[in-house]
Amino acid sequence: MTQSDYEFTSESVSEGHPDKVCDRISDTVVDMFLAADPLSRVACETLATTDKVILAGEVRGPASVTKDAIVESAREAIRDIGYDQEGFSWKTADIDVLLHEQSTDIAMGVDAAGNKDEGAGDQGIMFGYACRETDALMPAPIHFSHQILKSMAEARKSGAEKGFGPDSKSQVTLQYANGMPVRATSVVVSTQHDEDMDQDEIRELVRGHVLKVLPEGWMCPEDHFYVNPTGRFVIGGPVGDAGLTGRKIIVDTYGGAAPHGGGAFSGKDPTKVDRSAAYAARWVSKNVVAAGLADKCTIQVSYAIGVSHPLSIYFETYNTGKVDEAKLASVIREMVDLSPRGIRERLALSNPIYRPTSAYGHFGREDGGDGHFTWEKLDLVDELKSAFA
């Protein structure tokens, strides 16, 4: 029996968190190659520490994407995030680009040739999830955690609020009753700040963003509202902690409310099913919930390297489903092409659309019609309703 009354916690980290700096740089490289050639292959990992950035990995793409161009784009990413401080600045950081040609063995499995369709870039399992806790059909704790930090970043970058630094983290714990969130029991926000800022001042600035994001009446008790619990957060970013691409995969997805297959997203072109199939799984699960076929839905898909079709498709609707889960899997197989090529073409994933995904979550974001977050579209709803009419 599913527990219906409980507390659940999720965290988020800002674009200035060291790991997110690395995700941003890696996705900047992906966009550079895809802008030059939509069929480029990219697997870019980034390491950031005190005034040092190292990019490594495998690529296959046009020679016009030079190392010098990558270095300048990495600097621009750091500048846009907001780092121009002692120990880590877009002006002074030493940036090494150690990217090399993609393995011919991997390329042979992925590329279409003769009667062979484009294959998956790796083996693995990917999950998608949706639920009715928010308008975005996302779990509420991770959704609110993202929105708090996004609001703070927008105020910092617009100049509306002075004193916040780029590096910050949030954590929201919600009380659930009958399986739905009803209020916050604790909120934690740690934010980098100017040295001369008073902690009480910081607390009140942060409070405004929390109140803006949480539904009215949901604010936690005052003694469970934690802002910079250590009392000071001046040293931040890669000066305080080294960063790595792909180290915040639970922040990137559902905040622990749903499974994660293990693979990271950032720095990978869409032939890598770690990324593209996870996007497709979110797309399918969101449309299932939006179509009224379930109030909560997880889908798992699995792949083998070089093989074009998914090996398995599994649905779990947590006793909220209005239709048979086995039939749902069968209908989705017929309705949606979940091959790497099918996903890439249906969701237009070969476009340079990945930089915005590198912070504040890959899911629950608005499809603004500009080609970003196409996996958030609700274009399967009518077809799903018809299939189960």
Q: Could you report the average pLDDT of every consecutive run of 10 residues in the chain (389 residues)?
A: 84 98 98 97 97 97 96 98 96 97 64 58 90 98 98 95 94 97 98 92 96 98 96 90 96 97 93 95 98 97 90 95 93 94 96 97 85 95 94
Domain contains 195: yes
Q: Which of 8, 11, 15, 20 is catalytic?
A: 20
Q: Is 272 a catalytic residue?
A: yes
Q: Which of 8, 11, 15, 17 is catalytic?
A: 17
Q: Is 260 a catalytic residue?
A: no
Residues 227 and 326 in one domain: no
Residues 146 and 128 in one domain: no
Q: Is 150 a catalytic residue?
A: no
Domain contains 224: yes
Domain final residue, candidates 209, 235, 261:
235
Q: Is 19 a catalytic residue?
A: yes
Residues 278 and 361 in one domain: yes
CATH number of the domain that residue 159 is part of: 3.30.300.10
**Which residues 6+ apart lie within 8 Å of 137 measured at CB?**
130, 131, 286, 289, 290, 364
| Residue found under tokens 């898909």 | 301
Q: Which of 15, 23, 27, 45 is catalytic?
A: 45
Q: Is 45 a catalytic residue?
A: yes
Residues 185, 189, 195, 199: what is their CA dihedral angle, to the nearest 10 degrees?
Answer: -10
Tally of domains within the chain:
2
Residues 208 and 145 in one domain: yes
Residues 277 and 369 in one domain: yes
Whole-angstrom CA distances from 385 to 323, 331, 338, 388 are 11, 11, 20, 5
Q: Is 194 a catalytic residue?
A: no
Q: Is 169 a catalytic residue?
A: yes
Q: Which of 143, 146, 209, 272 is catalytic?
A: 272
pLDDT reported for residue 82: 96
Q: Which of 31, 241, 345, 367 is catalytic?
A: 241
Residues 169 and 128 in one domain: no
Which tokens hold the place of 87?
Answer: 């120990």
Q: Is 268 a catalytic residue?
A: yes
Domain contains 241: no
* Residues placed in the known binding site for K(+): 45
Residues 285 and 342 in one domain: yes
Q: How far apart are CA 259 and CA 262, in angstroms?
A: 9
Of 308, 290, 300, the C-alpha closest to 111 is 308
335 Ramachandran zone, left/alpha/beta (phi>0; psi -120 to 50): alpha
Residues 197 and 281 in one domain: no
Residues 199 and 176 in one domain: yes
- pTM (two decimals): 0.94
* Residues placed in the known binding site for Mg(2+): 19
Domain contains 287: yes
pLDDT reported for residue 307: 86
For β-strands 180-193 and 225-227, DSSP reports them as parallel
Q: Which of 36, 107, 242, 329 is catalytic?
A: 242
Q: Is 162 a catalytic residue?
A: no
Domain final residue, candidates 235, 258, 293:
235
Q: Is 68 a catalytic residue?
A: no
Domain contains 58: no
Domain contains 263: no
Q: Is 212 a catalytic residue?
A: no
* Residues placed in the known binding site for ATP: 17, 167-169, 232-233, 241, 247-248, 264, 268
Q: Is 58 a catalytic residue?
A: yes
Of 386, 353, 382, the C-alpha closest to 367 is 353
3 state SS of 26: helix
Which tokens hold the place of 188?
Answer: 């934690």
pLDDT reported for residue 232: 87
Residues 144 and 229 in one domain: yes
Residues 221 and 280 in one domain: no
* Residues placed in the known binding site for L-methionine: 58, 102, 241, 272
* Residues placed in the known binding site: 17, 19, 45, 58, 102, 167-169, 232-233, 241, 247-248, 264, 268, 272
Q: Is 20 a catalytic residue?
A: yes
Q: How far apart are CA 192 and CA 154, in angstroms?
A: 15
| Containing structural domain, residue 304 | 124-132+272-387
DSSP class of residue 375 equals G
Residues 216 and 316 in one domain: no
pLDDT reported for residue 246: 96
Domain contains 37: no
Domain contains 161: yes
Q: Which of 268, 286, 355, 372 is catalytic?
A: 268
Domain final residue, candidates 235, 264, 284:
235
